[in-house]
C-alpha cells in the first residue's frame, strides 16, 4: 500500500486540478519540507485550511508571535542544513517577521517565508491588514516575489528554494494574495535547477589556486581564519585535513564555531571583539592570512586600516561582492569552500609550523592566567557565566547544540562552550538580535531532535521573546533553558562601566520569577545562586526528559574579557579593564 506521502510524490508529474493553497502545501512537501513554524490570520487562512489535510506530511508548529516563527525557522535551518520555512499572515503578521529576515540575511541563513496578502484587487488601497511587505523586505531578502495568481505558485516555490539554498544562502519571501490561494490551477511540480541571471557559485580559478598554494608553501607564519562558509558548504572534513596537512593554526569567527572540534590542537579559538587573545593578536603577526567563508566583519577586524597589513591575504569566498569589500586581498578564490579547499589541499606541501604554533600557545597561556582561570575557577563567591556554560558542555560530552541569545551570555557561551560535532552552535551574529535565543532553540530542537539543545540567554534577551515558552509548553519540547541572570543588561552595562564612567543609564532590569513563570507554562525549573548547588542543578536539568528552565543568579557586574575596544586595532586585545 502506498502512503499518502508517496502518492503526493508520484502524482507530481501529472497535472491535477487543485486550489492555490493546496498547491502551496504540495510544493513545500515536494521540496522536502517537514516542519513549518507559523501563525495563522485572515489573509493566509486558505493555506492553513489546506494544511489541515496535510498533518501527516508536514508538522506545523504554532508559535506565539511571528518573530518566534522566523527565529525558529533560522534555528532549524542552522542545525539541519535544510531550508527553514515559516508562515505569517499579511500586515502585522508579515512585519513581525522582519527582524528575523534581516537576521537571516546578514547571517546567510536559508529561509522561505510565506506571507498572506490581501486579495489582488485590493492591493494598494490600504485594505485591512495590508502592508507592502515586498517593499519592506526588499533590502533584507535574497529574493522576494508577490504571487497574484494560482498558476505562479509551483514555479515561485521552486525558485524560492533554489535561491534560498544555493550559493551564499539567504532568506526568500513569497507574498501570496488571498485570491491566488483560493483560485484553481492545474498542478504539477518541477524543481528549479537554473536561473539565467543567477550564478550560485563561480568556477574556482586554477591559476588563483596555484598562486595561493605558492604563498602558503613559502609562508613562515601562515594563519587560517574561517567562518560559517565551512558549515554552509559542508567543508568540515576538508578543513580538518587541510590544516592537518599544512600544520597551519586556525581560528573561527563567531559563526564558524563548531566547524572544527574545540579540542583540535590547531584550533586556536575565536576571533573578534570578545574572541581569544592569541587569534586576535596573531592576525597582525602572520605572514600569510588564509580567510575562508568569512566576510571580515568589523567585529572581527577592528580598525581595518591596521588589520593584517603585514600579511598577504588569501580570501576563499562564494560571494563575489565580499571580495575586497573590507580587506584587500592578494589572491581571491571565488567558489564553494569545500570544493576550493579540496583543490587547494592537493597543491600544498606537508608541513609543521611548531615554533609559530608555540607562539599561539604562549599567548593562550597569557589569556588563561589572566582571564580564563577567573571565569572557570573563580576565587570569588559569585557564579560566572563561563563556569555555567563549561559545566553544561562537560555534562553533555561536548555534543549538545548550544543556542544563545545576544550579549554577555552569548560571548561567554562562544568562549567557553566546547564542541565536537558540527552544526552545534546557533547564535545571532551579524544583526545581534536580542530575543533570538528562545525561539531559535525551539527550531534547533525540531532540526536536531536527537541532540540535547541548551539555550543560554540573559535576563534581558529572554524577556524579548519569552512568550515562546507557550510554544515549548504546547509542543512538550525538551529544550533546556538556562537564564544567566545578573539583573542587568550586561553587555551595555559593561560598556557603560568601561567607556561611559559607570553611568548605568537604564541597564538595571527587574525580572519576573522565571521559575514560577515557567511553572505557569507547565515547565519545571529551579534557581541556583550558590556554586555548591550548580552541579546538581545542571545535572537535574539535563536529566529532565521534557523542557526545563534553570535560572542561574550570577555575579552582577562581571565583564567579558578579552576585549578589543570598538574601532581599535586587533593588536589591542585587552585582558582586563586595568589595560584600558
Partner 1 sequence: MKQEYIISAYSENHIGLLNRITIIFTRRKVNIESLTVSESALAGISKFTIVVNEEKEKVVNIVRQIEKQIEVLKAFYHTNEEMIFQEIALYKVPTQALMDSDQIEKMIRSHNARILEITKEYTVIEKTGHKEETQALFDGLNQFGVLQFIRSGRVAITRSPIERLSEFLRERDSLLDKMEKKS
Question: Which residues carry out catalysis?
Answer: 66, 128-129, 178, 491
Which helix (H) or strand (E) segment holds residue 164: the answer is helix 153-165
- Comparing CB distances to partner 1, the nearer of 159 and 221 is 159
- Comparing CB distances to partner 1, the nearer of 138 and 566 is 138
- Comparing CB distances to partner 1, the nearer of 140 and 549 is 140
Least distance from partner 1 to the Cβ atom of residue 579, Å: 34
Which triple of cell numbers denotes residue 525? 525549573
Report the alpha-carbon angle 162-165-169, nearest 5: 125
Least distance from partner 1 to the Cβ atom of residue 202, Å: 8
Q: Residue 78 — φ and ψ, nearest 5°?
A: -65, -40
The CA–CA distances, whole Å, from 380 to 11, 525, 531, 535 equal 67, 26, 10, 17
- Comparing CB distances to partner 1, the nearer of 146 and 267 is 146
Which triple of cell numbers denotes residue 71? 527565529
What sign has the CA pseudo-torsion 294, 300, 303, 305? negative
Least distance from partner 1 to the Cβ atom of residue 193, Å: 6
Q: How far apart are CA 29 and CA 10, in angstroms?
A: 12
- Comparing CB distances to partner 1, the nearer of 168 and 221 is 168
Least distance from partner 1 to the Cβ atom of residue 300, Å: 18
Least distance from partner 1 to the Cβ atom of residue 517, Å: 40
Report the candidate in 172, 157, 138 with the shortest Cα–Cα distance to residue 70: 172
Q: How far apart are CA 11 and CA 24, in angstroms?
A: 15
- Comparing CB distances to partner 1, the nearer of 329 and 463 is 329
Which helix (H) or strand (E) segment holds residue 567: the answer is none
DSSP string, 354-373: HHHHHHHHHHHHHHIIIIIH
- Comparing CB distances to partner 1, the nearer of 146 and 396 is 146
Q: How far apart are CA 544 and CA 395, in angstroms?
A: 13
The footprint of partner 1 (CB under 8 A) covers 134-135, 138-139, 142-144, 146, 163, 193-203, 319-321, 324-325
Residue bearing cell 562552550: 417
Q: How far apart are CA 111 and CA 362, in angstroms?
A: 42
Least distance from partner 1 to the Cβ atom of residue 429, Å: 20
Report the candidate in 511, 447, 434, 435 with the shortest Cα–Cα distance to residue 479: 447
Which triple of cell numbers denotes residue 234? 559542508
Cβ(575)–Cβ(370) under 8 Å?
yes
Sheet strand arrangement including 401-404: 425-426, 401-404, 453-458, 479-485, 548-553, 525-528
Q: How far apart are CA 75 and CA 80, in angstroms?
A: 8
Cβ neighbours of residue 412 closer than 8 Å, sequence gap 6 or more: 375, 384, 385, 386, 388, 389, 456, 484, 560
Least distance from partner 1 to the Cβ atom of residue 143, Å: 5
Least distance from partner 1 to the Cβ atom of residue 142, Å: 7
Least distance from partner 1 to the Cβ atom of residue 175, Å: 11
Distance in angstroms between the alpha carbons of the first and the last residue of the chain: 72
Cβ(487)–Cβ(461) under 8 Å?
no
Amino acid at each position: 500500500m502506498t502512503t499518502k506521502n508517496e502518492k503526493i510524490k508520484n502524482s507530481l508529474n501529472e497535472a491535477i486540478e487543485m486550489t492555490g493553497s493546496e498547491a502551496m502545501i504540495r510544493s513545500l512537501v515536494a521540496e522536502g519540507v517537514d516542519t513549518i513554524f507559523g501563525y495563522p490570520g485572515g489573509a493566509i487562512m486558505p493555506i492553513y485550511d489546506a494544511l489541515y489535510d496535510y498533518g501527516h506530511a508536514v508538522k506545523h508548529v504554532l508559535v506565539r508571535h511571528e518573530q518566534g516563527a522566523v527565529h525558529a525557522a533560522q534555528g532549524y535551518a542552522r542545525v539541519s542544513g535544510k531550508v527553514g520555512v515559516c508562515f505569517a499572515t499579511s500586515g502585522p503578521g508579515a512585519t513581525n517577521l522582519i527582524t528575523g529576515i534581516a537576521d537571516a540575511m546578514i547571517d546567510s541563513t536559508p529561509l522561505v517565508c510565506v506571507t498572506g496578502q490581501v486579495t489582488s484587487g485590493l492591493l494598494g488601497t490600504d485594505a485591512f491588514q495590508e502592508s507592502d511587505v515586498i517593499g519592506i523586505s526588499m533590502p533584507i531578502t535574497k529574493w522576494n516575489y508577490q504571487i497574484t495568481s494560482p498558476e505562479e505558485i509551483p514555479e515561485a516555490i521552486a525558485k524560492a528554494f533554489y535561491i534560498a539554498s544555493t550559493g551564499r544562502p539567504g532568506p526568500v519571501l513569497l507574498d501570496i494574495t488571498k485570491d491566488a490561494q483560493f483560485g484553481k490551477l492545474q498542478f504539477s511540480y518541477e524543481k528549479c535547477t537554473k536561473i539565467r541571471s543567477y550564478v550560485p557559485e563561480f568556477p574556482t580559478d586554477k591559476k588563483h589556486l596555484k598562486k595561493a598554494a605558492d604563498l602558503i608553501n613559502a609562508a613562515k607564519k601562515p594563519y587560517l581564519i574561517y567562518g560559517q562558509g565551512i558549515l554552509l558548504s559542508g567543508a568540515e572534513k576538508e578543513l580538518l585535513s587541510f590544516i592537518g596537512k599544512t600544520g597551519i593554526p586556525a581560528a573561527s569567527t563567531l559563526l564558524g564555531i563548531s566547524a572544527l572540534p574545540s579540542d583540535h590542537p590547531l584550533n586556536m579559538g575565536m576571533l573578534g571583539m570578545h574572541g581569544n587573545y592569541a587569534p586576535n593578536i596573531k592576525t597582525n603577526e602572520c605572514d600569510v592570512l588564509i580567510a575562508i567563508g568569512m566576510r571580515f566583519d568589523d567585529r572581527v577586524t577592528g580598525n581595518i586600516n591596521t588589520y593584517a597589513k603585514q600579511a598577504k591575504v588569501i580570501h576563499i569566498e562564494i560571494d563575489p561582492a565580499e571580495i575586497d569589500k573590507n580587506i584587500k586581498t592578494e589572491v581571491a578564490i571565488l567558489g564553494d569552500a569545500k570544493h576550493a579547499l579540496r583543490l587547494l589541499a592537493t597543491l600544498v606541501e606537508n608541513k609543521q609550523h611548531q615554533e609559530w604554533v608555540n607562539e599561539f600557545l604562549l599567548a593562550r597561556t597569557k589569556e588563561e592566567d589572566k582571564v580564563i582561570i577567573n571565569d572557570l575557577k573563580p576565587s570569588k563567591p559569585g557564579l560566572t557565566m563561563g563556569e555555567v556554560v563549561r559545566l553544561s558542555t562537560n555534562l553533555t560530552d561536548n555534543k549538545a547544540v548550544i543556542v544563545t541569545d545576544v550579549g554577555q551570555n552569548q560571548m561567554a557561551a562562544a568562549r567557553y562552550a566546547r564542541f565536537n560535532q558540527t552544526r552545534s552552535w546557533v547564535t545571532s551574529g551579524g544583526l545581534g538580535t536580542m530575543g533570538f535565543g528562545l525561539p531559535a532553540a525551539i527550531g534547533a530542537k525540531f532540526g536536531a531532535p536527537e541532540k540535547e539543545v541548551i539555550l543560554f540567554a540573559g535576563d534581558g534577551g529572554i524577556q524579548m521573546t519569552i512568550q515562546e515558552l507557550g510554544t515549548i509548553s504546547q509542543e512538550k519540547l525538551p529544550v533546556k533553558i538556562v537564564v544567566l541572570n545578573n539583573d542587568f543588561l550586561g553587555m551595555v552595562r559593561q560598556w557603560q562601566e568601561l567607556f561611559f564612567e559607570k553611568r548605568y543609564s537604564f541597564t538595571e532590569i527587574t525580572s519576573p520569577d522565571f521559575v514560577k513563570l515557567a511553572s505557569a507554562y507547565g515547565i519545571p525549573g529551579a534557581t541556583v545562586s550558590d556554586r555548591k548547588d550548580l552541579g546538581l542543578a545542571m545535572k537535574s536539568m539535563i536529566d529532565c526528559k521534557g523542557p526545563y528552565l534553570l535560572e542561574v543568579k550570577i555575579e552582577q557586574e562581571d565583564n567579558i574579557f578579552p576585549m578589543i575596544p570598538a574601532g581599535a586595532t586587533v593588536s589591542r586585545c585587552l585582558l582586563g579593564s586595568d589595560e584600558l
